[in-house]
Amino acid sequence: MKKSIFAGAVLALILSGCSSSGEPQVDETKNVDAQQVETVKTETVAAENANVEGSNEGMTSDSNEMSISSLENELESVYFAFDKFNLDTNAQEKISKNSSTAKNEASAYTIKLEGNCDEWGSDEYNFALGLKRADAVKKALVAEGVDASRITMVSYGESNPVCNDKTKECWSKNRRVDHKLLP
């Protein structure tokens, strides 16, 4: 038992040191809350471990990915105003719909909330704002009855835009929390 735990720990260390996933790395020397940094690190390692385990599953994994993909299409992104992380009525309606899907069809999956920002503000500020946005959505989902232990959060700050134009409309599309499902 101890050998398998030790082997798992060594594997996690190796995977976290050899990340090629393209996910943003947080500079721990910056003024960012240590808990936020640990959340991002934990999420990265968990995602890499899931990818390693999933590569050995064959056809079951392919059908599972199709199911996850179709369920993710039902989950709507939640959008925010400039420099805000509070939820308006439109966002609350989307969260209600998403919580219904999370409690029913997607009840077997973990929900990853991905906080995103527009390009305005420093990297540190945007990573923190992305986490605040993800946390606001998490609290709303939990209030709607989704189990908090099924929800993880990560912030991509401004590094994951869906639109790159230099317009207000485009920037508003980047201020969002996306919902992803993990097996």
Q: What pTM was estimated for this model as a whole?
A: 0.65
Q: Strand, helix or coil at 118?
A: coil
The answer, yes or no, to whether residue 176 has pLDDT greater than 50, is yes
Overall average pLDDT of the 51-55 stretch: 45
Q: Where are the domains of the chain?
A: 34-182
CATH 3.40.50.261 fits 34-182, yes or no: no
When computed from its CA atoms, the radius of gyration of the chain, rounded to whole angstroms, is 17
Instruction: Give buried/exposed letters for 117-141 (b at 16+ CB in 10 A, else e).
Output: bbeebebebbbbbbbbbbbbbbebb
The arithmetic mean of pLDDT across residues 26-31, rounded, is 41
For residue 114, give the 3-state DSSP assignment: strand
Average pLDDT over residues 19-37: 44
CA separation for the pair 87, 139 (Å, rounded): 11
